[in-house]
Structure formats: structure tokens, C-alpha cells
Amino acid sequence: MNPYVKNLTPLPDYCLLLSFENGETRIFDAAPYLEKGVFQRIRHPGLFGLAKVVADSVEWPGEVDLSYDTLYLESQPAMQDHAA
């Protein structure tokens, strides 16, 4: 089982800085998802920036969400300078 999302910070270029319950900080690139299905709704940078942690995962207005499994498995460890 993968760790749950505890905190997030939207970053430029449709990325999310994610803090997980296991103490890891990772960066998730959502750009590849924004051309598919319901994710097209959050392509506007202002709307993408409204992401929040809901039920240990990430959700945007309109019930657009990604599972914590996807967020963890498809993200990369964050460099120290992103964690500021």
C-alpha cells in the first residue's frame, strides 16, 4: 500500500509538490493527464491551482481527482530546493 497525501503545493507547469504520510516529498507532473477525459476541465492554470487534499488524495473542483496510488507511483522525489 502506498502512502497517503498529507499536503500539496501547486507548482508552475501543472506540477504538484506533494508531502506524503511517510515523510517523502515528491513532485507529480499532471501535464500528461490534462489532454484526457475529465482532466481537460482543469487545464486552466487558475483552476489547476485550486487542487486540495481530500480523503488522503488530491481533488479539484468538479470532483476531478487522482488517487494517492497514482500520485505516489507516478511522481519523482523532490529536490531540496523545491521543498522551500
Return phi, psi of residue 42, to 5°: -110, 20
Q: What is the pLDDT of residue 1?
A: 87
The identity of residue 59, as a single letter, is E
Q: Which pTM was predicted? A: 0.90
CATH 3.30.2020.10 matches 5-82? yes
C-alpha cell at 47: 483552476
The SS3 of residue 19 is: strand
Domain residue ranges in the chain? 5-82
- pLDDT, tens digit, 9 for 90 and up, residues 53-66: 999 999 999 999 99
The SS3 of residue 70 is: helix
pLDDT band at 79 (very low <50, low <70, confident <90, very high): confident
Q: What is the pLDDT of residue 80?
A: 60
